[in-house]
Chains A and B, each alone.
Chain A
Protein backbone atom coordinates (compact mmCIF):
# COMPACT_ATOMS: atom_id res chain seq x y z
CA UNK A 1 0.00 0.00 0.00
CA UNK A 2 2.79 2.42 0.99
CA UNK A 3 4.76 1.40 -2.07
CA UNK A 4 1.77 2.05 -4.34
CA UNK A 5 1.10 5.42 -2.72
CA UNK A 6 4.75 6.44 -3.10
CA UNK A 7 4.74 5.42 -6.76
CA UNK A 8 1.59 7.43 -7.47
CA UNK A 9 2.83 10.57 -5.71
CA UNK A 10 6.26 10.18 -7.37
CA UNK A 11 4.54 9.91 -10.77
CA UNK A 12 1.91 12.63 -10.50
CA UNK A 13 4.11 15.26 -8.83
CA UNK A 14 6.68 14.50 -11.53
CA UNK A 15 4.10 15.01 -14.25
CA UNK A 16 2.67 18.20 -12.77
CA UNK A 17 6.12 19.71 -12.26
CA UNK A 18 7.55 18.37 -15.56
CA UNK A 19 7.51 21.83 -17.22
CA UNK A 20 9.57 23.23 -14.34
CA UNK A 21 11.96 20.24 -14.51
CA UNK A 22 12.51 20.84 -18.23
CA UNK A 23 12.80 24.62 -17.73
CA UNK A 24 15.41 24.25 -14.97
CA UNK A 25 17.35 21.68 -17.01
CA UNK A 26 17.43 23.73 -20.21
CA UNK A 27 18.10 27.05 -18.45
CA UNK A 28 20.94 25.52 -16.40
CA UNK A 29 22.52 24.19 -19.59
CA UNK A 30 22.16 27.64 -21.19
CA UNK A 31 23.80 29.33 -18.18
CA UNK A 32 26.53 26.69 -18.07
CA UNK A 33 27.39 27.54 -21.69
CA UNK A 34 26.84 31.30 -21.60
CA UNK A 35 29.85 32.03 -23.79
CA UNK A 36 28.47 29.70 -26.46
CA UNK A 37 25.09 31.41 -26.60
CA UNK A 38 26.58 34.90 -26.88
CA UNK A 39 28.63 37.54 -25.14
CA UNK A 40 25.38 39.02 -23.82
CA UNK A 41 26.09 38.25 -20.18
CA UNK A 42 29.49 39.92 -20.37
CA UNK A 43 28.17 43.03 -22.04
CA UNK A 44 24.92 43.40 -20.10
CA UNK A 45 21.52 43.82 -21.71
CA UNK A 46 21.04 46.32 -24.52
CA UNK A 47 18.10 48.62 -23.94
CA UNK A 48 16.04 49.95 -26.83
CA UNK A 49 13.71 52.91 -26.48
CA UNK A 50 10.05 51.92 -26.80
CA UNK A 51 8.18 55.05 -25.74
CA UNK A 52 8.49 58.50 -24.21
CA UNK A 53 5.58 60.19 -22.48
CA UNK A 54 4.90 63.26 -20.36
CA UNK A 55 3.92 62.08 -16.87
CA UNK A 56 0.77 63.80 -15.61
CA UNK A 57 0.30 61.83 -12.38
CA UNK A 58 1.32 62.69 -8.83
CA UNK A 59 3.98 60.74 -6.91
CA UNK A 60 3.36 60.22 -3.18
CA UNK A 61 5.69 62.57 -1.31
CA UNK A 62 7.94 60.86 1.19
CA UNK A 63 6.96 57.45 -0.16
CA UNK A 64 9.50 54.76 -0.94
CA UNK A 65 10.99 54.54 -4.42
CA UNK A 66 8.98 51.36 -4.91
CA UNK A 67 5.68 53.05 -3.93
CA UNK A 68 6.43 55.94 -6.28
CA UNK A 69 7.39 53.52 -9.04
CA UNK A 70 4.08 51.75 -8.58
CA UNK A 71 2.20 54.99 -9.35
CA UNK A 72 4.13 55.31 -12.60
CA UNK A 73 3.62 51.62 -13.47
CA UNK A 74 -0.12 51.96 -12.85
CA UNK A 75 -0.18 55.09 -14.97
CA UNK A 76 1.53 53.11 -17.75
CA UNK A 77 -0.88 50.20 -17.07
CA UNK A 78 2.01 47.76 -16.56
CA UNK A 79 1.96 47.32 -12.76
CA UNK A 80 3.80 44.26 -11.48
CA UNK A 81 7.06 42.96 -9.97
CA UNK A 82 9.71 45.64 -10.02
CA UNK A 83 12.81 47.16 -8.44
CA UNK A 84 13.12 50.92 -8.17
CA UNK A 85 15.69 53.42 -7.01
CA UNK A 86 16.46 57.10 -7.29
CA UNK A 87 19.80 58.21 -8.69
CA UNK A 88 22.23 59.54 -6.07
CA UNK A 89 21.49 63.15 -7.08
CA UNK A 90 17.71 62.49 -7.08
CA UNK A 91 17.34 63.59 -10.71
CA UNK A 92 15.96 60.29 -12.04
CA UNK A 93 13.86 57.41 -10.78
CA UNK A 94 14.88 54.16 -12.46
CA UNK A 95 12.40 51.29 -12.42
CA UNK A 96 13.19 47.75 -13.55
CA UNK A 97 9.85 46.15 -14.44
CA UNK A 98 10.63 42.45 -14.14
CA UNK A 99 8.38 41.04 -16.81
CA UNK A 100 9.36 37.48 -17.54
CA UNK A 101 8.98 37.59 -21.31
CA UNK A 102 9.71 41.23 -21.86
CA UNK A 103 11.55 43.10 -19.06
CA UNK A 104 11.31 46.89 -19.18
CA UNK A 105 13.33 49.77 -17.82
CA UNK A 106 11.36 52.89 -17.02
CA UNK A 107 13.12 56.16 -16.24
CA UNK A 108 11.27 59.14 -14.79
CA UNK A 109 13.01 62.53 -14.72
CA UNK A 110 11.10 65.05 -12.57
CA UNK A 111 12.93 68.03 -14.14
CA UNK A 112 11.17 67.62 -17.50
CA UNK A 113 8.36 65.35 -16.26
CA UNK A 114 9.18 62.69 -18.83
CA UNK A 115 8.85 58.94 -18.57
CA UNK A 116 11.01 56.88 -20.92
CA UNK A 117 10.21 53.19 -21.45
CA UNK A 118 12.94 50.89 -22.76
CA UNK A 119 12.88 47.19 -23.59
CA UNK A 120 15.28 44.48 -24.68
CA UNK A 121 15.43 42.47 -27.90
CA UNK A 122 13.91 39.00 -27.33
CA UNK A 123 16.54 36.37 -26.60
CA UNK A 124 15.78 32.75 -25.66
CA UNK A 125 18.83 32.27 -23.41
CA UNK A 126 18.00 35.47 -21.48
CA UNK A 127 14.35 34.39 -21.10
CA UNK A 128 15.46 31.00 -19.73
CA UNK A 129 17.81 32.67 -17.26
CA UNK A 130 15.05 35.01 -16.06
CA UNK A 131 12.77 32.01 -15.50
CA UNK A 132 15.48 30.17 -13.60
CA UNK A 133 16.27 33.12 -11.35
CA UNK A 134 12.70 34.23 -10.74
CA UNK A 135 11.88 34.61 -7.03
CA UNK A 136 8.61 35.81 -5.66
CA UNK A 137 8.19 36.46 -1.97
CA UNK A 138 9.94 39.83 -1.95
CA UNK A 139 7.31 41.26 -4.32
CA UNK A 140 3.81 42.43 -3.30
CA UNK A 141 2.00 40.64 -6.09
CA UNK A 142 -0.11 37.49 -5.78
CA UNK A 143 1.20 35.89 -8.99
CA UNK A 144 4.79 36.25 -7.76
CA UNK A 145 3.89 34.75 -4.38
CA UNK A 146 2.22 31.77 -6.07
CA UNK A 147 5.24 31.28 -8.35
CA UNK A 148 7.51 31.34 -5.27
CA UNK A 149 5.24 28.82 -3.58
CA UNK A 150 5.52 26.51 -6.60
CA UNK A 151 9.32 26.87 -6.43
CA UNK A 152 9.10 25.78 -2.76
CA UNK A 153 6.85 22.90 -3.83
CA UNK A 154 9.46 21.97 -6.43
CA UNK A 155 12.15 21.90 -3.72
CA UNK A 156 10.02 19.56 -1.56
CA UNK A 157 9.23 17.43 -4.63
CA UNK A 158 12.92 17.03 -5.49
CA UNK A 159 13.69 15.75 -2.00
CA UNK A 160 10.62 13.49 -2.18
CA UNK A 161 11.65 12.06 -5.57
CA UNK A 162 15.06 11.14 -4.16
CA UNK A 163 13.73 9.65 -0.91
CA UNK A 164 10.82 7.79 -2.53
CA UNK A 165 13.13 6.61 -5.32
CA UNK A 166 15.51 5.10 -2.77
CA UNK A 167 12.63 3.41 -0.88
CA UNK A 168 11.16 1.97 -4.10
CA UNK A 169 14.57 0.82 -5.29
CA UNK A 170 15.35 -1.00 -2.02
CA UNK A 171 12.12 -3.00 -2.38
CA UNK A 172 13.34 -4.44 -5.71
CA UNK A 173 15.90 -7.01 -4.62
CA UNK A 174 17.14 -7.65 -8.17
CA UNK A 175 18.36 -4.07 -8.54
CA UNK A 176 20.03 -3.68 -5.15
CA UNK A 177 23.59 -4.49 -6.16
CA UNK A 178 23.75 -2.29 -9.25
CA UNK A 179 21.71 0.40 -7.55
CA UNK A 180 24.14 0.49 -4.66
CA UNK A 181 27.05 0.76 -7.10
CA UNK A 182 25.45 3.74 -8.87
CA UNK A 183 24.41 5.43 -5.60
CA UNK A 184 27.87 5.05 -4.03
CA UNK A 185 29.59 6.01 -7.29
CA UNK A 186 27.53 9.20 -7.53
CA UNK A 187 28.14 10.01 -3.87
CA UNK A 188 31.90 9.49 -4.23
CA UNK A 189 32.08 11.81 -7.25
CA UNK A 190 30.01 14.41 -5.41
CA UNK A 191 32.19 14.28 -2.29
CA UNK A 192 35.31 14.56 -4.46
CA UNK A 193 34.05 17.80 -6.01
CA UNK A 194 32.81 19.14 -2.66
CA UNK A 195 36.35 18.75 -1.30
CA UNK A 196 38.36 19.89 -4.29
CA UNK A 197 36.34 22.67 -5.93
Chain B
Protein backbone atom coordinates (compact mmCIF):
# COMPACT_ATOMS: atom_id res chain seq x y z
CA UNK B 1 0.00 0.00 0.00
CA UNK B 2 1.54 3.32 -1.03
CA UNK B 3 1.91 6.13 1.51
CA UNK B 4 -0.85 8.40 0.11
CA UNK B 5 -3.34 5.54 0.11
CA UNK B 6 -2.51 4.64 3.71
CA UNK B 7 -2.62 8.31 4.70
CA UNK B 8 -6.13 8.73 3.24
CA UNK B 9 -7.40 5.63 4.99
CA UNK B 10 -5.94 6.68 8.35
CA UNK B 11 -7.56 10.13 7.98
CA UNK B 12 -10.91 8.60 7.10
CA UNK B 13 -11.13 5.65 9.49
CA UNK B 14 -9.73 7.59 12.44
CA UNK B 15 -12.34 10.27 11.78
CA UNK B 16 -15.17 7.77 11.63
CA UNK B 17 -14.06 5.99 14.82
CA UNK B 18 -13.58 9.20 16.79
CA UNK B 19 -16.59 11.07 15.43
CA UNK B 20 -18.70 10.51 18.63
CA UNK B 21 -15.98 12.29 20.64
CA UNK B 22 -15.78 15.10 18.08
CA UNK B 23 -19.53 15.61 18.33
CA UNK B 24 -19.40 15.40 22.13
CA UNK B 25 -16.62 17.99 22.39
CA UNK B 26 -18.36 20.25 19.86
CA UNK B 27 -21.84 20.16 21.42
CA UNK B 28 -20.56 20.35 25.00
CA UNK B 29 -18.47 23.42 24.11
CA UNK B 30 -21.70 25.39 23.50
CA UNK B 31 -22.70 25.54 27.21
CA UNK B 32 -19.07 26.35 28.05
CA UNK B 33 -19.00 29.20 25.56
CA UNK B 34 -22.52 30.46 26.39
CA UNK B 35 -22.70 29.45 30.05
CA UNK B 36 -24.49 32.63 31.12
CA UNK B 37 -27.36 31.98 28.69
CA UNK B 38 -27.81 28.40 29.93
CA UNK B 39 -27.71 29.52 33.56
CA UNK B 40 -30.32 32.22 32.92
CA UNK B 41 -32.60 29.73 31.18
CA UNK B 42 -32.25 27.32 34.08
CA UNK B 43 -32.72 30.05 36.69
CA UNK B 44 -36.09 30.85 35.14
CA UNK B 45 -37.26 27.36 36.16
CA UNK B 46 -36.75 28.38 39.80
CA UNK B 47 -35.65 24.91 40.90
CA UNK B 48 -32.96 24.11 43.48
CA UNK B 49 -29.66 22.81 42.09
CA UNK B 50 -29.11 20.43 45.00
CA UNK B 51 -31.60 18.17 46.76
CA UNK B 52 -30.84 16.56 50.10
CA UNK B 53 -30.73 12.77 49.72
CA UNK B 54 -29.56 11.74 53.19
CA UNK B 55 -28.11 12.92 56.48
CA UNK B 56 -26.22 10.71 58.91
CA UNK B 57 -23.78 10.58 61.78
CA UNK B 58 -20.15 10.24 60.67
CA UNK B 59 -16.97 10.41 62.66
CA UNK B 60 -13.50 10.37 61.18
CA UNK B 61 -10.36 12.51 61.53
CA UNK B 62 -10.07 15.22 58.87
CA UNK B 63 -6.42 15.23 57.78
CA UNK B 64 -4.71 18.14 56.01
CA UNK B 65 -2.53 16.12 53.63
CA UNK B 66 -3.67 15.17 50.15
CA UNK B 67 -3.42 11.39 50.62
CA UNK B 68 -5.26 11.50 53.94
CA UNK B 69 -7.97 13.71 52.46
CA UNK B 70 -8.41 11.25 49.60
CA UNK B 71 -8.75 8.39 52.09
CA UNK B 72 -11.35 10.38 54.05
CA UNK B 73 -13.20 11.05 50.78
CA UNK B 74 -13.29 7.32 50.10
CA UNK B 75 -14.78 6.68 53.56
CA UNK B 76 -17.38 9.44 53.01
CA UNK B 77 -18.32 7.89 49.65
CA UNK B 78 -18.76 4.48 51.30
CA UNK B 79 -20.87 5.96 54.10
CA UNK B 80 -23.04 7.75 51.55
CA UNK B 81 -23.42 4.55 49.52
CA UNK B 82 -21.84 6.02 46.38
CA UNK B 83 -19.25 4.54 44.05
CA UNK B 84 -17.14 6.02 41.30
CA UNK B 85 -15.05 9.09 40.56
CA UNK B 86 -14.70 11.70 43.27
CA UNK B 87 -12.63 14.60 44.51
CA UNK B 88 -12.20 15.56 48.16
CA UNK B 89 -11.72 19.22 49.14
CA UNK B 90 -11.35 21.06 52.42
CA UNK B 91 -13.77 23.89 53.00
CA UNK B 92 -11.92 25.51 55.88
CA UNK B 93 -11.08 23.84 59.18
CA UNK B 94 -14.57 22.59 59.95
CA UNK B 95 -15.83 21.10 56.70
CA UNK B 96 -14.72 18.64 54.02
CA UNK B 97 -16.65 18.28 50.76
CA UNK B 98 -16.59 15.34 48.39
CA UNK B 99 -17.82 15.82 44.84
CA UNK B 100 -18.83 12.65 43.06
CA UNK B 101 -19.48 12.89 39.35
CA UNK B 102 -20.75 10.29 36.96
CA UNK B 103 -22.11 11.02 33.49
CA UNK B 104 -25.72 10.90 34.65
CA UNK B 105 -25.55 11.82 38.33
CA UNK B 106 -23.59 14.23 40.50
CA UNK B 107 -23.52 14.23 44.27
CA UNK B 108 -21.88 16.36 46.92
CA UNK B 109 -21.19 14.91 50.35
CA UNK B 110 -20.53 17.44 53.08
CA UNK B 111 -18.75 16.40 56.26
CA UNK B 112 -19.24 18.83 59.15
CA UNK B 113 -16.27 17.84 61.29
CA UNK B 114 -17.27 19.35 64.65
CA UNK B 115 -20.88 18.19 64.35
CA UNK B 116 -19.76 14.72 63.18
CA UNK B 117 -22.45 14.87 60.56
CA UNK B 118 -22.61 13.92 56.89
CA UNK B 119 -25.05 15.51 54.45
CA UNK B 120 -25.57 13.93 51.03
CA UNK B 121 -27.02 16.08 48.25
CA UNK B 122 -27.84 15.03 44.71
CA UNK B 123 -27.61 17.52 41.89
CA UNK B 124 -30.68 18.10 39.78
CA UNK B 125 -29.99 16.69 36.30
CA UNK B 126 -29.18 19.28 33.66
CA UNK B 127 -28.24 18.37 30.10
CA UNK B 128 -25.75 21.20 29.81
CA UNK B 129 -23.99 20.10 33.00
CA UNK B 130 -24.00 16.47 31.89
CA UNK B 131 -22.29 17.48 28.63
CA UNK B 132 -19.76 19.82 30.22
CA UNK B 133 -19.04 17.21 32.89
CA UNK B 134 -18.25 14.59 30.27
CA UNK B 135 -16.23 17.14 28.28
CA UNK B 136 -14.06 17.92 31.29
CA UNK B 137 -13.79 14.36 32.52
CA UNK B 138 -10.21 13.24 32.97
CA UNK B 139 -9.31 9.82 34.14
CA UNK B 140 -5.84 9.30 35.46
CA UNK B 141 -6.42 10.95 38.84
CA UNK B 142 -9.02 8.31 39.80
CA UNK B 143 -8.27 4.86 41.25
CA UNK B 144 -10.02 2.69 38.69
CA UNK B 145 -9.13 0.87 35.51
CA UNK B 146 -12.30 2.19 33.86
CA UNK B 147 -11.31 5.82 34.46
CA UNK B 148 -7.71 5.16 33.47
CA UNK B 149 -8.93 3.66 30.20
CA UNK B 150 -11.07 6.79 29.59
CA UNK B 151 -7.89 8.82 30.15
CA UNK B 152 -6.18 6.72 27.46
CA UNK B 153 -9.13 7.32 25.10
CA UNK B 154 -8.82 11.08 25.68
CA UNK B 155 -5.12 10.81 24.77
CA UNK B 156 -6.07 8.92 21.59
CA UNK B 157 -8.51 11.69 20.67
CA UNK B 158 -5.73 14.29 21.18
CA UNK B 159 -3.40 12.24 19.00
CA UNK B 160 -6.21 11.83 16.45
CA UNK B 161 -6.59 15.62 16.16
CA UNK B 162 -2.88 16.02 15.42
CA UNK B 163 -2.95 13.13 12.92
CA UNK B 164 -5.93 14.72 11.07
CA UNK B 165 -4.05 17.98 10.63
CA UNK B 166 -0.83 16.21 9.54
CA UNK B 167 -2.57 13.73 7.23
CA UNK B 168 -4.74 16.53 5.79
CA UNK B 169 -1.62 18.49 4.88
CA UNK B 170 -0.04 15.35 3.36
CA UNK B 171 -3.14 14.80 1.18
CA UNK B 172 -3.26 18.43 0.08
CA UNK B 173 0.41 18.91 -0.77
CA UNK B 174 0.53 16.85 -4.02
CA UNK B 175 -2.59 18.56 -5.46
CA UNK B 176 -1.09 21.51 -7.31
CA UNK B 177 -4.38 23.25 -8.05
CA UNK B 178 -5.14 23.61 -4.34
CA UNK B 179 -1.77 24.87 -3.20
CA UNK B 180 -2.35 28.62 -3.31
CA UNK B 181 -5.74 28.69 -1.56
CA UNK B 182 -4.49 26.06 0.89
CA UNK B 183 -1.43 28.14 1.77
CA UNK B 184 -3.68 31.19 2.10
CA UNK B 185 -6.01 29.35 4.52
CA UNK B 186 -3.10 27.99 6.58
CA UNK B 187 -1.35 31.36 6.70
CA UNK B 188 -4.58 33.24 7.57
CA UNK B 189 -5.34 30.79 10.39
CA UNK B 190 -1.80 30.90 11.78
CA UNK B 191 -1.69 34.71 11.57
CA UNK B 192 -5.13 35.06 13.27
CA UNK B 193 -4.13 32.67 16.02
CA UNK B 194 -0.83 34.45 16.64
CA UNK B 195 -2.62 37.82 16.66
CA UNK B 196 -5.06 36.66 19.34
CA UNK B 197 -2.34 35.12 21.49
CA UNK B 198 -0.59 38.49 21.33
CA UNK B 199 -3.77 40.56 21.87
CA UNK B 200 -5.55 38.61 24.59
Name A's B-contacting residues (CB within 8 A): 11-26, 28-29, 31-35, 42, 80-81, 98-101, 131, 134-138, 143-144, 146-148, 150-152, 154-156, 158-159, 161-162, 165-166, 169, 175, 178-179, 182-183, 185-187, 189-190, 193-197
Contact across chains for A16 and B21 when beta carbons are under 8 A apart:
no
> Which of B40-48, B90-98, B117-125, B179-187 is the contact stretch?
B179-187
Per the bound structure, the CA–CA distance linking A179 and B17 in Å amounts to 8
Determine the main DSSP class of A at the interface with B. helix
Q: Which residues of A contact B102 (CB under 8 A)?
A: 197
Per the bound structure, the CA–CA distance linking A28 and B80 in Å amounts to 32
Smallest CB gap from A41: residue in B: B141
Q: Which residues of A contact B165 (CB under 8 A)?
A: 14, 18, 21-22
Q: Which residues of A contact B185 (CB under 8 A)?
A: 11-13, 15-16
Contact across chains for A178 and B196 when beta carbons are under 8 A apart:
no
Contact across chains for A189 and B16 when beta carbons are under 8 A apart:
no
Contact across chains for B29 and A15 when beta carbons are under 8 A apart:
no
Instruction: Say if the beta carbon of B56 comes within 8 Å of chain A.
Output: no
Per the bound structure, the CA–CA distance linking A195 and B27 in Å amounts to 18
Interface size on B, residues (CB 8 A): 67
Contact across chains for A15 and B168 when beta carbons are under 8 A apart:
yes
Instruction: Say if the beta carbon of B12 comes within 8 Å of chain A.
Output: yes
Q: Which of A15, A146, A158, A179 contacts B12 (CB 8 A)?
A: A179
Q: Which of B22, B198, B199 contacts A158 (CB 8 A)?
A: B22
Name B's A-contacting residues (CB within 8 A): 9, 12-27, 29-30, 32-36, 66, 84-85, 102-103, 134, 137-141, 146-147, 150-151, 153-155, 157-159, 161-162, 164-165, 168, 172, 178, 181-182, 185-186, 188-190, 192-194, 196-200
Contact across chains for A189 and B22 when beta carbons are under 8 A apart:
no
Per the bound structure, the CA–CA distance linking A49 and B41 in Å amounts to 41
Contact across chains for A183 and B162 when beta carbons are under 8 A apart:
no
With A159-B22, A197-B147 given, name 19 new contacts (CB 8 A). A14-B165, A15-B182, A19-B193, A22-B162, A25-B161, A29-B155, A32-B140, A33-B140, A81-B200, A138-B36, A143-B196, A150-B192, A155-B33, A156-B26, A161-B22, A179-B12, A186-B20, A187-B20, A197-B134
